[in-house]
Amino acid sequence: MKRIFYFALPMAFLMSCGESKPEGEVVKLDTFKDKLSYALGAEHAKMITESGDPNLAKLNFDNIVEGFGEGIKSPEAFDNACKATIQKLYGPYGQDFDTTYLKAGCICIGKTVGSVFIDGWKKKGALDKIDLELAQIGFKQALAKTDTILDVQLRSKIVNDFVVDLNRKNGSKMMAKAKKLPNVEVLPNGLVIQTIQAGTGGSPTSSDDVKADYVLMSTQGDTIESSFQYKKQSGKEIPAFNLAGVIPGWTQGFPHLKKGGKYKLFIPGELAYGAQKGFESLCFYIEFKDFGKAGTLVQPQPEQPQQQMR
Protein backbone atom coordinates (compact mmCIF):
# COMPACT_ATOMS: atom_id res chain seq x y z
CA MET A 1 0.00 0.00 0.00
CA LYS A 2 1.73 3.15 -1.17
CA ARG A 3 -0.50 5.53 0.76
CA ILE A 4 -3.47 5.72 3.08
CA PHE A 5 -6.53 6.21 0.94
CA TYR A 6 -10.27 6.73 1.20
CA PHE A 7 -12.24 3.58 0.41
CA ALA A 8 -14.39 4.12 -2.70
CA LEU A 9 -18.17 3.84 -2.57
CA PRO A 10 -20.20 2.14 -5.31
CA MET A 11 -20.66 4.42 -8.31
CA ALA A 12 -24.45 4.38 -8.10
CA PHE A 13 -24.32 5.77 -4.56
CA LEU A 14 -21.62 8.43 -5.07
CA MET A 15 -23.92 11.39 -5.61
CA SER A 16 -25.04 14.49 -3.63
CA CYS A 17 -28.97 18.22 -2.90
CA GLY A 18 -34.53 21.03 -1.79
CA GLU A 19 -37.55 22.38 -3.91
CA SER A 20 -37.17 23.78 -7.40
CA LYS A 21 -38.53 27.08 -8.66
CA PRO A 22 -40.86 27.15 -11.65
CA GLU A 23 -39.29 26.85 -15.10
CA GLY A 24 -38.32 30.16 -16.59
CA GLU A 25 -38.02 32.01 -13.29
CA VAL A 26 -35.06 34.34 -13.23
CA VAL A 27 -32.38 33.32 -10.73
CA LYS A 28 -30.54 36.18 -9.07
CA LEU A 29 -27.32 35.61 -7.18
CA ASP A 30 -26.91 38.82 -5.23
CA THR A 31 -24.86 37.68 -2.24
CA PHE A 32 -21.87 35.42 -1.69
CA LYS A 33 -24.22 32.91 0.01
CA ASP A 34 -26.39 32.90 -3.14
CA LYS A 35 -23.40 32.26 -5.40
CA LEU A 36 -21.95 29.63 -3.07
CA SER A 37 -25.25 27.75 -2.77
CA TYR A 38 -25.83 27.68 -6.53
CA ALA A 39 -22.21 26.65 -7.13
CA LEU A 40 -22.36 23.80 -4.61
CA GLY A 41 -25.46 22.38 -6.27
CA ALA A 42 -23.96 22.68 -9.75
CA GLU A 43 -20.64 21.14 -8.72
CA HIS A 44 -22.38 18.19 -7.05
CA ALA A 45 -24.27 17.50 -10.28
CA LYS A 46 -20.93 16.41 -11.76
CA MET A 47 -21.21 13.26 -9.66
CA ILE A 48 -23.95 12.23 -12.05
CA THR A 49 -22.97 13.93 -15.31
CA GLU A 50 -19.31 12.88 -14.99
CA SER A 51 -19.89 9.50 -13.35
CA GLY A 52 -19.05 7.54 -16.47
CA ASP A 53 -22.43 5.83 -16.32
CA PRO A 54 -23.04 4.40 -19.83
CA ASN A 55 -26.78 4.76 -19.19
CA LEU A 56 -26.60 8.47 -18.38
CA ALA A 57 -28.63 9.50 -21.45
CA LYS A 58 -31.43 7.14 -20.39
CA LEU A 59 -31.87 8.68 -16.94
CA ASN A 60 -34.82 10.96 -16.29
CA PHE A 61 -33.37 14.11 -14.73
CA ASP A 62 -36.80 15.42 -13.71
CA ASN A 63 -37.28 12.31 -11.59
CA ILE A 64 -33.79 12.75 -10.15
CA VAL A 65 -34.63 16.34 -9.16
CA GLU A 66 -37.88 15.09 -7.63
CA GLY A 67 -36.00 12.64 -5.45
CA PHE A 68 -33.45 15.33 -4.78
CA GLY A 69 -36.13 17.41 -3.08
CA GLU A 70 -37.06 14.50 -0.82
CA GLY A 71 -33.45 13.69 0.04
CA ILE A 72 -32.54 17.23 0.93
CA LYS A 73 -35.43 17.38 3.40
CA SER A 74 -34.38 14.17 5.13
CA PRO A 75 -31.16 12.11 4.86
CA GLU A 76 -33.27 9.08 5.83
CA ALA A 77 -35.13 9.35 2.50
CA PHE A 78 -32.43 7.18 0.96
CA ASP A 79 -33.13 3.89 2.70
CA ASN A 80 -32.63 0.18 2.06
CA ALA A 81 -35.68 0.12 -0.21
CA CYS A 82 -34.04 2.78 -2.39
CA LYS A 83 -30.79 0.84 -2.49
CA ALA A 84 -32.72 -2.21 -3.67
CA THR A 85 -34.52 -0.15 -6.33
CA ILE A 86 -31.27 1.22 -7.76
CA GLN A 87 -29.86 -2.30 -7.84
CA LYS A 88 -32.93 -3.46 -9.75
CA LEU A 89 -32.44 -0.60 -12.22
CA TYR A 90 -28.76 -1.35 -12.84
CA GLY A 91 -28.72 -5.08 -12.10
CA PRO A 92 -26.83 -6.86 -9.32
CA TYR A 93 -23.45 -6.17 -10.94
CA GLY A 94 -24.25 -2.76 -12.43
CA GLN A 95 -24.11 -4.14 -15.95
CA ASP A 96 -27.83 -4.25 -16.75
CA PHE A 97 -30.39 -1.49 -17.15
CA ASP A 98 -34.01 -2.45 -16.56
CA THR A 99 -36.24 0.46 -17.62
CA THR A 100 -39.10 -1.09 -15.64
CA TYR A 101 -37.49 0.60 -12.65
CA LEU A 102 -36.44 3.80 -14.46
CA LYS A 103 -38.75 6.28 -12.69
CA ALA A 104 -38.41 4.78 -9.22
CA GLY A 105 -34.69 4.29 -9.72
CA CYS A 106 -34.10 7.89 -10.81
CA ILE A 107 -36.10 9.18 -7.84
CA CYS A 108 -33.92 7.06 -5.58
CA ILE A 109 -30.76 8.37 -7.24
CA GLY A 110 -32.04 11.86 -6.47
CA LYS A 111 -32.71 10.85 -2.89
CA THR A 112 -29.14 9.61 -2.67
CA VAL A 113 -27.79 12.92 -3.91
CA GLY A 114 -30.00 14.94 -1.59
CA SER A 115 -29.34 12.91 1.53
CA VAL A 116 -25.57 12.81 1.00
CA PHE A 117 -25.48 16.56 0.30
CA ILE A 118 -27.46 17.53 3.38
CA ASP A 119 -25.75 15.03 5.68
CA GLY A 120 -22.26 15.99 4.51
CA TRP A 121 -22.63 19.73 4.97
CA LYS A 122 -24.45 19.24 8.25
CA LYS A 123 -21.53 17.26 9.63
CA LYS A 124 -19.16 20.03 8.56
CA GLY A 125 -21.33 22.58 10.37
CA ALA A 126 -22.02 24.53 7.16
CA LEU A 127 -25.79 24.33 6.64
CA ASP A 128 -26.35 27.87 7.89
CA LYS A 129 -24.09 29.10 5.07
CA ILE A 130 -26.11 27.37 2.31
CA ASP A 131 -29.45 28.31 0.71
CA LEU A 132 -30.76 24.84 -0.07
CA GLU A 133 -33.26 26.07 -2.64
CA LEU A 134 -30.55 27.77 -4.67
CA ALA A 135 -28.33 24.71 -4.29
CA GLN A 136 -31.06 22.61 -5.85
CA ILE A 137 -31.52 25.08 -8.67
CA GLY A 138 -27.80 24.94 -9.39
CA PHE A 139 -27.96 21.14 -9.35
CA LYS A 140 -30.99 21.04 -11.63
CA GLN A 141 -29.54 23.48 -14.15
CA ALA A 142 -26.21 21.67 -14.20
CA LEU A 143 -27.99 18.42 -15.04
CA ALA A 144 -29.73 20.23 -17.90
CA LYS A 145 -26.48 21.97 -18.92
CA THR A 146 -28.14 25.39 -18.50
CA ASP A 147 -25.92 26.37 -15.56
CA THR A 148 -24.42 29.42 -17.28
CA ILE A 149 -25.32 31.95 -14.58
CA LEU A 150 -21.84 31.55 -13.05
CA ASP A 151 -18.57 31.16 -14.92
CA VAL A 152 -17.33 27.59 -14.48
CA GLN A 153 -13.89 28.63 -13.23
CA LEU A 154 -15.36 31.16 -10.80
CA ARG A 155 -17.82 28.54 -9.59
CA SER A 156 -15.05 26.04 -8.96
CA LYS A 157 -12.97 28.66 -7.11
CA ILE A 158 -15.91 29.67 -4.88
CA VAL A 159 -16.48 26.05 -3.86
CA ASN A 160 -12.78 25.27 -3.37
CA ASP A 161 -12.14 28.39 -1.27
CA PHE A 162 -15.22 27.63 0.84
CA VAL A 163 -14.15 24.05 1.48
CA VAL A 164 -10.57 25.03 2.35
CA ASP A 165 -11.74 27.76 4.74
CA LEU A 166 -14.22 25.39 6.39
CA ASN A 167 -11.63 22.62 6.70
CA ARG A 168 -9.06 24.96 8.23
CA LYS A 169 -11.55 26.21 10.84
CA ASN A 170 -12.71 22.69 11.74
CA GLY A 171 -9.11 21.47 11.76
CA SER A 172 -7.99 24.23 14.11
CA LYS A 173 -10.79 23.33 16.54
CA MET A 174 -9.87 19.63 16.47
CA MET A 175 -6.14 20.26 16.95
CA ALA A 176 -6.80 22.68 19.84
CA LYS A 177 -8.98 20.09 21.61
CA ALA A 178 -6.41 17.35 20.95
CA LYS A 179 -3.67 19.31 22.71
CA LYS A 180 -5.77 19.31 25.90
CA LEU A 181 -6.20 15.52 25.97
CA PRO A 182 -4.29 13.41 28.53
CA ASN A 183 -1.04 11.67 27.56
CA VAL A 184 -0.34 13.80 24.50
CA GLU A 185 2.87 14.83 22.79
CA VAL A 186 2.82 17.90 20.57
CA LEU A 187 5.52 17.81 17.88
CA PRO A 188 7.16 20.94 16.41
CA ASN A 189 5.57 20.17 13.03
CA GLY A 190 2.08 20.43 14.53
CA LEU A 191 1.30 16.73 14.91
CA VAL A 192 -0.41 15.72 18.15
CA ILE A 193 0.08 12.14 19.41
CA GLN A 194 -2.08 10.73 22.19
CA THR A 195 -0.83 7.52 23.79
CA ILE A 196 -3.75 5.25 24.62
CA GLN A 197 -1.63 2.20 25.40
CA ALA A 198 2.15 2.54 25.38
CA GLY A 199 4.06 0.16 23.15
CA THR A 200 6.99 -1.85 24.47
CA GLY A 201 8.83 -2.38 21.18
CA GLY A 202 11.08 -0.12 19.16
CA SER A 203 10.26 2.74 16.84
CA PRO A 204 10.66 2.82 13.04
CA THR A 205 12.59 5.32 10.98
CA SER A 206 10.83 7.44 8.36
CA SER A 207 11.95 5.03 5.61
CA ASP A 208 10.95 1.72 7.28
CA ASP A 209 8.15 -0.69 6.42
CA VAL A 210 5.33 -0.77 8.95
CA LYS A 211 2.21 -2.80 9.61
CA ALA A 212 -0.70 -1.26 11.50
CA ASP A 213 -4.46 -1.32 11.86
CA TYR A 214 -6.19 2.03 11.87
CA VAL A 215 -9.43 3.97 11.88
CA LEU A 216 -9.44 7.22 9.93
CA MET A 217 -11.78 9.88 11.34
CA SER A 218 -12.87 13.35 10.23
CA THR A 219 -12.57 16.46 12.37
CA GLN A 220 -16.13 15.75 13.56
CA GLY A 221 -15.18 12.23 14.67
CA ASP A 222 -16.98 10.39 11.87
CA THR A 223 -15.29 7.25 10.57
CA ILE A 224 -14.08 7.70 7.00
CA GLU A 225 -12.10 4.49 6.65
CA SER A 226 -11.32 1.50 8.85
CA SER A 227 -8.87 -1.34 8.35
CA PHE A 228 -10.84 -3.34 10.90
CA GLN A 229 -14.00 -3.01 8.80
CA TYR A 230 -12.05 -3.77 5.63
CA LYS A 231 -10.71 -7.02 7.09
CA LYS A 232 -14.17 -8.00 8.30
CA GLN A 233 -15.76 -7.43 4.92
CA SER A 234 -12.97 -8.76 2.69
CA GLY A 235 -11.43 -11.44 4.88
CA LYS A 236 -8.02 -10.02 3.93
CA GLU A 237 -5.28 -8.41 5.97
CA ILE A 238 -4.23 -4.83 5.37
CA PRO A 239 -0.84 -5.06 3.59
CA ALA A 240 2.26 -3.50 5.09
CA PHE A 241 3.45 -0.21 3.64
CA ASN A 242 6.59 1.88 3.54
CA LEU A 243 6.61 5.16 5.45
CA ALA A 244 8.28 6.95 2.56
CA GLY A 245 5.14 6.47 0.46
CA VAL A 246 2.30 7.60 2.74
CA ILE A 247 0.97 10.97 3.84
CA PRO A 248 3.51 13.22 5.62
CA GLY A 249 1.66 12.92 8.92
CA TRP A 250 2.36 9.18 8.98
CA THR A 251 5.93 9.53 7.72
CA GLN A 252 6.74 12.05 10.43
CA GLY A 253 4.51 10.62 13.15
CA PHE A 254 5.33 6.91 13.18
CA PRO A 255 8.95 7.36 14.36
CA HIS A 256 7.41 8.65 17.61
CA LEU A 257 5.28 5.50 18.09
CA LYS A 258 6.42 2.22 19.63
CA LYS A 259 5.59 -1.23 18.35
CA GLY A 260 2.66 -2.83 20.18
CA GLY A 261 1.17 0.50 21.22
CA LYS A 262 -2.21 2.09 20.57
CA TYR A 263 -2.32 5.75 19.66
CA LYS A 264 -4.35 8.59 18.24
CA LEU A 265 -2.53 10.67 15.67
CA PHE A 266 -4.01 14.12 15.00
CA ILE A 267 -2.76 15.49 11.69
CA PRO A 268 -3.03 19.10 10.43
CA GLY A 269 -4.30 19.47 6.87
CA GLU A 270 -0.88 20.41 5.49
CA LEU A 271 0.51 17.07 6.70
CA ALA A 272 -2.52 15.04 5.58
CA TYR A 273 -3.59 15.21 1.92
CA GLY A 274 -2.91 18.93 1.56
CA ALA A 275 -4.59 20.72 -1.34
CA GLN A 276 -5.78 17.39 -2.77
CA LYS A 277 -8.40 17.15 -0.01
CA GLY A 278 -8.85 20.86 0.71
CA PHE A 279 -6.35 20.87 3.60
CA GLU A 280 -8.66 18.73 5.71
CA SER A 281 -7.20 17.78 9.09
CA LEU A 282 -7.54 14.13 10.11
CA CYS A 283 -7.40 11.89 13.14
CA PHE A 284 -6.15 8.29 13.07
CA TYR A 285 -6.62 5.66 15.74
CA ILE A 286 -3.62 3.34 15.28
CA GLU A 287 -2.71 -0.10 16.58
CA PHE A 288 0.99 -0.47 15.71
CA LYS A 289 1.70 -4.12 14.85
CA ASP A 290 5.20 -4.36 13.41
CA PHE A 291 7.98 -2.63 11.50
CA GLY A 292 11.21 -3.45 9.68
CA LYS A 293 13.74 -2.12 7.23
CA ALA A 294 12.49 -1.21 3.76
CA GLY A 295 11.69 -4.36 1.79
CA THR A 296 11.32 -6.69 4.81
CA LEU A 297 7.54 -6.31 5.16
CA VAL A 298 6.55 -4.75 1.86
CA GLN A 299 7.11 -7.12 -1.01
CA PRO A 300 8.25 -5.45 -4.25
CA GLN A 301 5.75 -5.53 -7.07
CA PRO A 302 6.75 -7.81 -9.94
CA GLU A 303 7.88 -5.93 -13.00
CA GLN A 304 5.40 -5.90 -15.84
CA PRO A 305 6.80 -7.26 -19.12
CA GLN A 306 7.37 -4.43 -21.56
CA GLN A 307 5.49 -4.64 -24.81
CA GLN A 308 7.63 -4.84 -27.89
CA MET A 309 7.51 -1.71 -30.03
CA ARG A 310 6.03 -2.25 -33.43
pLDDT of 302 reads 57
- Interatomic CA distance for residues 267 and 296, integer angstroms: 27
Domain 174-292 has CATH 3.10.50.40: yes
The structural domains of the chain, with segments of one domain joined by +, span 11-150, 174-292
At 278, phi and psi to the nearest 5? 65, 30
Which pLDDT score, from 0 to 100, does residue 93 have?
A: 82
- Give me the pLDDT at residue 75, please: 79
Contact indicator for 256, 186 with CB cutoff of 8 Å: no
The pLDDT of residue 86 is 95
Model pLDDT, residue 208:
97
Cα separation of 266 and 172, whole Å? Answer: 11
The DSSP line for 47-71 is HHHTS--TTGGGS-HHHHHHHHHHH
| pLDDT, one tens digit for every residue, the chain (310 residues) | 334 333 233 333 333 333 344 444 578 999 999 999 999 999 988 889 998 999 999 999 999 999 988 999 887 889 999 999 999 999 988 888 999 999 999 999 999 999 989 998 998 999 999 999 999 999 999 999 999 899 989 999 999 999 999 999 999 999 999 999 999 999 999 999 999 999 999 999 999 999 999 999 999 999 999 999 999 999 998 889 999 999 999 999 999 999 999 999 999 999 999 999 999 999 999 999 999 999 999 977 655 555 443 3
- DSSP strands (E only) in the chain: 184-186, 192-197, 209-217, 223-226, 241-242, 262-267, 282-292
Secondary structure of residue 284 in the 3-state scheme:
strand
pLDDT of res. 8? 32
pLDDT recorded at residue 25: 56
